[in-house]
Structure 1
Amino acid sequence: MLNWGIDRVLTVTVDNASSNDVGMTYLKKRINNWKGSVLKGIHLHMRCCAHILSLTVKDGLKDVDDSIHRIRSAVRYVRSSNSRMQRFKSCAHEEKLETKKLVCLDLETRWNSTFLMLESTLVFKRAFERLEEEDDKYKVELEKLKGTPNDLDWHYVESLVPFLKIFYDATLKVSGSLYVTSNDLFHIIYGIACKLTKETSSKIESHKSMARRMKAKHDKYWGSFDNINPLVFIAVVLDPRYKLEYVCFALDEVYGIEHGGIWTKDELFESVKGFLEDMFNDYSEMRGVTCESSSRSVGSATPNENDESQSVEDYLKKKFRRKRMEDRVGETTLSELERYLKANLEDDEDITFNILAWWKKHSSEYPILSLMARDVLEIPVSTVASESAFSTGGRVLDAIRSSLTPLVVESLICGQNWLRSSTLPIDMEENFEEIEELEQELKESCLDDCTIMSDLVDDD
């Protein structure tokens, strides 16, 4: 940080490993010594949202491991050769499944690919059942493993896919690096909480069991109002489409006494507003220091208060002017927050709304709040890009990478960031439809090559 000239830090986003707590404590102490934190860095630690979502999904998949394994084996059988794929397509045609999609195989350590596999496979349920009736080898091979997919497996998958869809979309949303994500985290946390709470009362036992397991993991990190970094709330307050009223409404829906929580609506309101005012005052003081420095530089050309050559009248007049200026600044500072909160909300259904452009436009109207928005809205809520956020594998450095010097690690990290920088988002996920087209083109190319070779042999 010293080498990079970083002396002010609002948050640091890291995974939920306990070892990170020690690092955050050390960093907080150092930054406070530099007077480079907001509110003494008490909310420096921002937990990685994508990591928590991945852990939640991993727990939800435990109940249906065997079902997923049987469906994965069925897909692997179909995709193992061209002849098997053609037989499967024939089964789909006979079942009148009019779709251009094909089944895709997943990577077991990437739950998003498992979701895409299950989603694509559901369409072909009847085709797999017909394949089992017509292809004896299919049944024999799968019986050596855990058997062919049964009705209960398909039932589990049908209930699982909607759950995974929620987490899949949420992970893609929070893992972006070219747009603001901090103001979306609040909606994701409480949207998922409400969905899981609803499903825990489902009459379908598989839904209920899965929802309870996922909710237990979700509540471990986000189940308590005190466990969530309040900057998550402030990011929504600084969104002119929602502000403080919406935040308190949503919190009451999840944590309020009327909904099984332990907080009253007034307590939630006062807690969020209190933090908002403390942060606003902190930024006001920081801005005041800047203004004071400017005032000193401007006033240096005029006689100072200790100048014995100035008259008593001038001394008092100057002091009075300074007092009026301070009072006026104080009134503006106090009213800015209230003016923003009382102003009309922007249309939350406007898909073209750009929150950064809005704050840029209103920076002169809300000078202190615009500084807060600039800092809060740039907080990354995920530590990884989307292609890494779906991995359920361990994030452990091997012996070689662990032995790299800090300079080499820094070079690798910065180099990757520079190489991947782009004004357009980079989608690193596999597009299974494109892969199918490429495979088909390759297959046709190979057939053409074989035909040419055969003709050459015949000519000889």
Structure 2
Amino acid sequence: MKSVMKNYFEKDISRVCLTTDTWTSLQRISYMVLTAHWVDDEWRLQKRIINFCPISAHRGESIGQAIEKCLRDWGIERVFTITVDNASANSVAIEYLRKKFNHRNASVANGKFIHMRCVAHILNLIVQYGIKDASVSVDRVRGAVRYIRASPSRLTKFNQRVKEEMIDSKAQLCLDVPTRWNSTYMMLKVAEKYERAFESYVRDDHNFFLDLTAGDGVPTFDDWEIVRRVIKVLEPFYHLTLKVSGSLHVTSHSLFEVLTDVHCLFDGWQDCGDLEIISMTSKMREKYNKYWGEGNKINMLVYLAVIFDPRCKMSFLDFGVNLLFPNVANDIIKMIDKELHCLFNEYSSNAGRIELFEGRSSSLTNLCASMEIDRSK
């Protein structure tokens, strides 16, 4: 399969976009994964994990060298973007790779757009920063869920309390991964439904009270109120994260829409009258502005993808830019227009692409003619 894929990559195919991440195992070994994404001749999005390997360290140059070695091994030259999280080491790795690609004249616009910050990761940072003040209440609920799920007998006894309290829900208690806020949202959303069952359970199982008291404590009425606010705030972010996390369909055209949606969420919550929610979202806006507060520092491809979406084009982009950056909207639109023309000129100068277009011109003409006939009917 690898030889088949190498042969495919070595042909003059569309450019490849990469996503990569690194982490350290419990054995203190650093690993890196590299995934290639491209659109094939049938206009279908393809995705392949092309490397999973140990690396010497989480340093930027080590990451860059590992990616470079992998791309050589697969015969991949035409890289369009590399999507990474916001660790500083990744910025160093991207700069290393940008120089290498430019030396081989293998990048678009001298690699100006190659560094794509992961939108899902930025949303994660925004949310984690916003719910930090609610962490005690979240920890207490997490402790209660962990205790119940620790043994089948406890879970059976808890389900009996659910029936006695006549709680109409079939959802199963789930434990989250604390560093993944979307799993925390799912845990809280289910646990909140069983608030009365938890209160009943604490009266029947003295060990439940002792175990939780030794840790973060038993969830109180105030904790459940805070949890409900957290759920209310997290729910739209959960759906936005799903929108940009798809791997079987293209998501680039939805990134700018996510920026505008989050901006509108903050504006709406600012006037909601709930001081706790206002406090949470104020912190979130602070983190949002760090990454998306200046329109000229956002990767231009986020804007250009909107133009290529036939449902949006320039009209939605103009509306969104004026919404997000009213004071400098005209300057940003001019900058986007300039980059769009530069990209068009660069692709137009590719003789192979022009020949491909000319080769299809007759079929395009026939298609347009048939459309005109249908329209006249």
Q: TM-score, normalised by structure 2?
A: 0.70
Aligned residue for 2:328?
263
8 Å CA contact 1:244–1:273 kept in 2: the answer is: no
AA aligned to 2:169 is T
What amino acid does structure 1 have at the position aligned with 2:144? Answer: A
Which residue in the other structure is 2:119 paired with?
Answer: 49
Distance 1:102 1:15, change over 3 A: closer
5 Å-filtered alignment, 1:97-246, equals 97-246=167-316
Q: Answer yes or no: is 1:92 the counterpart of 2:162.
A: yes
**Residue pairs, 1:310-389, within 5 angstroms:** none
Which SS does the other structure have where 1:179 is aligned?
coil
Does 1:253 pair with 2:323? yes
More strand by share: 2
Q: Is the radius of gyration larger for structure 1 or structure 2?
A: 1
Q: Which of 277, 300, 303 is 2:341 aligned to?
A: 277
| Aligned twin of 2:108 | 38
Q: 1:5 to 1:74 in 2, by over 3 A?
A: closer
1:179-231 superposed Cα distances (whole Å, 9 cap, x missing partner): 11111111122212221233234321211121122222222111210121011
Shift of 1:47: 1.1
* 1:389-443 deviation line (CA, Å, top 9, x unaligned): xxxxxxxxxxxxxxxxxxxxxxxxxxxxxxxxxxxxxxxxxxxxxxxxxxxxxxx
User: What amino acid maps onto 1:95 in structure 2?
Assistant: E
Q: Quick one: which amino acid aligns to residue 163 of structure 1?
A: V
1:180 match: secondary structure: coil
Paired with 1:109 and 1:290, the residues of 2 have a C-alpha distance of: 45
CA distance in 1, matches of 2:276, 2:366: 51
8 A contact 1:194–1:254 mirrored in 2: no
- The amino acid of 2:331's aligned partner reads E
**Residue among 331, 341, 350 paired with 1:286:** 350
Percent identity between the aligned chains?
38
How far does residue 291 in structure 1 lie from its aligned partner after superposition? 4.7
- Give, in angstroms, the shift of residue 73 of structure 1: 1.6
Task: Choose from 130, 145, 156 the match for 1:75.
Answer: 145
Query: Using the alignment, how far apart are the partners of 2:167 and 2:246 within structure 1?
Result: 36
Q: Once structures 1 and 2 are overlaid, which stretch shifts more, 57-66 or 163-172?
A: 163-172
Contact 1:43/1:229 (CA < 8 Å) preserved in 2? Answer: yes
SS at match of 1:10: strand
Structure 2 unpaired stretches of 5+: 1-70, 369-377
Distance 1:294 1:48, change over 3 A: closer
CA distance in 1, matches of 2:103, 2:143: 58
Alpha-carbon distance in structure 2 between the residues aligned to 1:197 and 1:246: 19
2:90 paired residue number: 20
2:173/2:190 contact within 8 Å kept: yes
Q: How much does 1:49 deviate?
A: 1.8
3-state SS of paired residue (1:11): strand
Q: Which letter does structure 1 place at the counterpart of 2:117?
A: R
Q: Secondary structure at the match of 2:116?
A: strand
1:330-376 deviations in Å (ceiling 9; x for gaps): xx9xxxxxxxxxxxxxxxxxxxxxxxxxxx989988xxxxxxxxxxx
Equivalent of 1:7 in 60, 77, 101: 77
TM-fit CA distance, 1:247 = 0.9
Structure 1: gaps spanning 5 or more residues: 257-261, 296-331, 333-359, 366-460
Alpha-carbon deviation of 1:164? 2.3
Contact 1:101 1:120 in 2 (8 A): yes
**How big is the alpha-carbon RMSD for the aligned residues of Structure 1 and Structure 2?**
2.9
Query: Against the structure 1 CA distance between its residues 14 and 105, is the aligned structure 2 distance closer, same or farther, given a 3 Å change threshold?
Result: closer
Count matched residues. Answer: 295
Q: What is the match of residue 437 of structure 1?
A: none
Deviations 1:73-101, CA, capped at 9 Å, x for gaps: 22222223334323322322222212222
